[in-house]
Amino acid sequence: MLNFVSRRVFLAVITLLVVSAVVFAIFSLLPFDPAALSCGQKCTDTIIAGNRIKLGFDRPLYMQYALFLSGIFFGRTYGSGAAGFTCPAPSFGYSYNENACVSDLLRQAIPVTISLALGALIIWLITGVSLGIIAARFKNKWPDRVSSIFVLLGTSLPTFVTGLALLIWVTIKWKLVPLSLIGYTPLWEDPIKFFQFFILPWITLAIAYAALYTRFTRAAVLETLGEDYIRTARAKGVKERTVLFKHTMRAVFAPIITLAGLDFAGLIGGAIITETIFNLPGLGRLTLRSTFEFDLPVVLATTLLAAAVVIIMNLVIDMLYAVLDPRVRI
Amino acid sequence: MAELLRIENLHVAFPTDDGLVRAVDGVSLTLNEGETVAIVGESGSGKTVSGLSVMGLHKKGAAQLTGSIFVKDGDHGVDIVSASEEEIRSLRGRTVAMIFQDPMSSLHPYYRIGNQLSEGYLVHNPGKKKDALKRAVEMLDLVGIAEPDQRANDYPHQFSGGMRQRVMIAMALMNSPRILIADEPTTALDVTVQAQILILLASLQKEFNMGILLITHDLGVVAQVADRVSVMYGGRIVEQGSVDDVFYKPAAPYTLGLLKSVPRISTHGSARLKAIPGQPPSLINLPTGCAFAPRCEFSAHAQGDICATARPELLGSRPEHLSRCHVLEATRDRLFIDELKEVRA
């Protein structure tokens, strides 16, 4: 186990280094002068030259990359004296558009995105898996047909349709949830505001995923119900309910966890559409904004973060699998 | 010998998009205490479906059952065909138990062996967790698994195929059932392991005084362990009798064909295997006459084209040895003698 984990962590670090180098190279090769981008409207050649030195763009590419990497661990100071400023570790660079350290921008955006992804995950797991079980249990009967309509709608309606529909009907027409203009409040500061802020984005995201999970669970349950060991359980005289919820679900559980882990990791990279519709200041919107504004340090950081989350989630899932499935030894 | 199981005129049909599949078409048989009755036939002859019917394991709605299956439960009999789902469930594993063909896939991969065994006991003796575990270890020991108390904590993948079949047997016997249905218990195993499992089953049968309904396509297995045999073809029993009768004086042409197609090591050099020509019939469109007639080499000896037009009944000069054939019994006796000499050789 320890051997496996250390090997995988080592591989993860290598992968992240490669990803960061590639992303760094792509952005450095773009036909933009980052120093020019950093100086706004009243730009003179002197300011650009000054910024170039201040932000380190005058150095060779490999030095810039080395500075970027060392910044993650040791922080980074730009300029010197009164005009200088420091982004403490972990520093992912300095956003010249926002005039802020990238790590500060991330620190504000990450809790929003995690709250969004986690809440949606819980909702879609509960609804998707239960609907899937019901659909499998009553295969070809009316509950199955109703759930297949849900699956069809959920998978075919894009989030910008469901999201906007929810926003228009639930918030504006029916006024069930107040339109949140204050923005994000952390859970521990005001739970009610937190839930009011997130409930519609959660549902929007969850509908799409719940539909997929319903379909997946239904198929997995039906496949497992056909297994020989399920027949064995019935032959022992086990009650049908126990056959379904214990014997069958135990086997269906592992693949669902895998799927959920990967989907969750994908969402941390940013649910761009949902965050945009509901004006959530999360990673997705941060990425979108910085891409439009050529705020390259931020794009670099969010890309790296998304890659890191996917890699870490994969490691976590593999370790979970060893716990869930006795046949897997690591 | 008390009668444990009586199947009377059992019909099992599965409605499909292509039509009604008549998997079992009027099967009757009995099973007594301490006795082994074999059901022999090729794939699709209805033998497994018959076994599953006794367990009541067909899905309600998916299968149409008629006839009756009386299972002796204590002092009274229960008819599986008409009993409620809950009644059947309480019989399963307690009065009637079953072991399956493939021990590799018949055990739950995620649960410890000990848990899987105890579960069968706990279902019928709720709350007695300690007894269940003790019993599980005892049963593992009984079926010949070394260090049973440690092995009970292992998972199925840590056992070999033969050991898993032993575990399956232990699991089936957790509640000392009166009837054991063994569906191809040795088919998936190595030949050397097959013999061990058969010997184990025989010794356990004595110990528990069980009736065993052995479902197999392997005539060698039948000859070794069965007392009586029912040969099935196209969902019907075509011959029924004691092992000696069926093996030494087969009365149905199909049984003779089966015996002739068994490969044997002969001192007279190598002879070609005599397979039965043709294919088993489709269970959706069974021939109007004898189901075996299209493949039968003796149909010319019957009167006219009766084989193609009428179903033969299960008859015999002695009630303990019955067969389905339109050819006169005396004619068959005469015709089969030469063929049997070949088989014996």
Q: What DSSP designation does B99 have?
A: E
As given in the structure block, the two tokens for residue A10 are: 């080592």
Decide if pLDDT at A180 tops 70: no
B98 contacts in chain A (CB < 8 Å): 235
Amino acid identity of residue B205, one-letter, is Q
Classify the C-alpha dihedral A253-A255-A258-A259 as positive or negative.
negative
Decide if pLDDT at A122 tops 90: yes
Other Cβ atoms closer than 10 A to A288:
17
pLDDT score recorded for residue B344: 66
Do residues A265 and A305 make contact, with C-beta atoms less than 8 angstroms apart? no
Amino acid identity of residue B61, one-letter, is G
Verify whether the Cβ–Cβ distance B98 to A251 is below 8 Å. no
A162 backbone φψ class: left, alpha, beta (φ>0; ψ -120 to 50): alpha
* Torsion angle in degrees (nearest 10) through CA of B230, B231, B232, B233: -160
Is residue A250 within 8 angstroms of chain B, CB to CB?
A: yes
Q: How confident is the model at residue A76 (pLDDT cuts 50, 70, 90)?
A: confident
Pairwise pLDDT comparison (B214 vs A185), residue with the higher score: B214
SS3 (DSSP) at B194: helix
* Torsion angle in degrees (nearest 10) through CA of A177, A180, A185, A189: -50
Other Cβ atoms closer than 10 A to B84:
10
Averaged pLDDT in 10-residue chunks for chain B of 345 residues: 91 92 92 95 89 89 91 89 92 94 91 95 93 94 93 94 92 94 89 88 92 92 92 94 92 91 70 81 87 89 87 89 91 85 69
Average pLDDT over residues A75-98: 81
Verify whether the Cβ–Cβ distance A237 to B93 is below 8 Å. yes
Amino acid identity of residue B287, one-letter, is P
pTM: 0.86
pLDDT score recorded for residue B345: 57
Q: Which of residues 140-159 of B touch A (CB under 8 A)?
A: 155, 157
Do residues B334 and B249 make contact, with C-beta atoms less than 8 angstroms apart? no
pLDDT score recorded for residue A182: 65
Quick one: which of B106, B9, B92, B103 has its CA closest to B58?
A: B92
Is residue A232 within 8 angstroms of chain B, CB to CB?
A: yes
Amino acid identity of residue A161, one-letter, is V
User: What is the tens place of the pLDDT at every residue in A265-287?
Assistant: 999 887 888 898 888 889 999 99
A131: Cβ contacts below 8 Å, ≥ 6 apart: A147, A150, A210, A214, A217, A218
B111 contacts in chain A (CB < 8 Å): 250
Integer CA distances (angstroms), A90 to A12, A72, A301, A308, B32, in order? 18, 4, 11, 14, 80
Of B97, B98, B106, Cβ closest to residue A229? B106
* Torsion angle in degrees (nearest 10) through CA of A215, A217, A222, A226: 140
**How would you class A55 by CB atoms within 10 Å of its CB: exposed for 0-12, middle for 13-18, buried for 19 or more?**
buried
